[in-house]
Structure 1
Amino acid sequence: EIIFQDVDRADEAAESMKLTAYDCRDLGIIDTVVPEPPGGAHLDPEEAARQLRRMIVSELVNLQSTATKKMLKDRYKKYRNIGEYSSYFSAALTREVNALQNLVSSGARWI
């Protein structure tokens, strides 16, 4: 709402700031995205819960077969890399600058 001063444009704001689940996965912030049922979790919360349960159980099975030392090493590396300057960050920054330039040139009064 802050960016566009319009709560109906929240998805657009999230996309422009690269806050979608898939962006977070691509940036290494999260490991996986749990797919939603068609139309979204709010339309079928029971199916959403089933999918979430399947993903959690699957990940727990994977974790049980992974050595603790490896998990700690991977976790350390993951969190050290979050926020690291990368080509993905550079591309995201370029997109954001272009979007802001387009807003300014179109006469937007609020960003």
Structure 2
Amino acid sequence: MTFVTKLSLESGDRAVLEETVTDIKQFLERKGAECRGPFNDPPQHLSVPQYRNLSPGDRFSPWDYPVYSRRLEIHGNDHIARQIGHRDFPPSLHVEIEVEHRKPAGHRRS
């Protein structure tokens, strides 16, 4: 059974996101891990309303900002994927890690 570790990284700071993804990719290449990606998703543009006080009505203009995201897949190499998961990521970065079991092609259920 092969394990696939999927990393999803999101940030409003594109430079920090790109630097972190580049560091992860270089680390995986040095260790000889099989990696697919980074896959780029189109940026999301979010808008947050801002109020002058706690009562409804009087508002500032909304706060608009982009969120950039990248995805990576690490195939096999569980110990290397675990090292990535234990890294200290920048506070402006949101990281999600998902581990999936994949059975080899032609594998039958018992």
Structure 1 and Structure 2 fold alike (TM over 0.5):
no
TM class by shorter chain equals under 0.3
Higher helix fraction: Structure 1 or Structure 2?
1
TM-score, length-scaled by structure 1: 0.26
Q: Which has the higher strand share?
A: 2
RCO comparison, higher one (Cα < 8 Å, 6+) = 2
